[in-house]
Amino acid sequence: MKTPQEIRQIAAWMSAAGLGALELRTPDERILLGKGGEPVAPRATPDVARRPPPGPHASAAGTTTVRAPSLGIFLRGHPGRATALAEPGMRVSKGQPVALLQIGPLLLPVPAPADGRLLAPRAAEGDAVGYGEPLFDFQQQ
């Protein structure tokens, strides 16, 4: 659960990055941050209770997910370079950056969670993603 202090910090960050609103979804909760940066009351939609919590994409045994370490704009490659950081099918090592998240002028790395193989992307280039959102399927090895 995010503490009120953490929520305020994220709100300040959003405001500095020029993001007007953001929905934060974690396995435990769903928070909407509005234009003023103040948390709005979580919408208790019936769907939320019935929908299974976001988890590993259960397409094949042994696959897991590369999740966003932060909110931001999902980028497959560095803006100054023509190629993506990593392509589906590539072997990567734990901690290796496989994509980037842009927050205003800042670029944060999306690290591979373990040694393994990067699989299909779960978000599109330029998507605004939230903390914990799945970005790639990943096969741990």
Partner 1 sequence: MIEILSNAALATVQDLGRSGSLRFGVGTAGMMDNLALAAGNLMLGNEAGAAGIEIPVFPFRLRFDVDCAFALTGADCAARLDDVPLLPWWSHQAHAGQLLELGLPQGVQRASRAVLCLAGGVDVPQVLGSRSTQLRGAFGGHEGRALRRGDVLRAEAPGRACRTGFGLVPPAIALPLALDGGTVIRVLPAAEYLAFTPESRAAFWQRGWKITPQSDRYGFRLEGEALRPIAPMEMRSHGIVPGVIQVPHSGQPIIQMRDAQPSGGYPKFGTVIEADLWRLGQAPIGSRIRFVEVGWDEALAAQNEVEAWLRKVERMIDLHGSASGGRA
Query: In this structure, which amino acid lies at residue 26?
Result: T
Quick one: how far is CA 134 from the chain centroid? 6
21-29, 45-53, 76-84, 115-123 -> range binding partner 1 (CB under 8 A): 76-84
What mask, x for binding partner 1 by CB under 8 A, covers residues 108 to 127? xx------------------
Query: In this structure, which amino acid lies at residue 38?
Result: E
Asked if 106 interacts with partner 1 (CB under 8 A), we say: yes
Residue from 9, 45, 140, 141 binding partner 1 (CB under 8 A): 9
Asked if 80 interacts with partner 1 (CB under 8 A), we say: yes
Q: Given the complex with partner 1, which of 1 and 82 has the nearer CB atom?
A: 82
CB of 111 to partner 1, least distance (A): 9
CB 141, CB 117: distance < 8 Å: yes
Within 16-55, the residues that bind partner 1 by CB under 8 A are 16-17
Strands (E), the chain: 22-25, 30-33, 39-40, 63-67, 72-75, 91-92, 97-103, 106-111, 116-121, 128-129, 134-140
The count of C-alpha atoms lying within 13 angstroms of the C-alpha of 99, restricted to the half-sphere facing its C-beta, is 30
Binding site for partner 1 (CB under 8 A): 6, 9-10, 12-13, 16-17, 78-82, 97, 100, 102-109
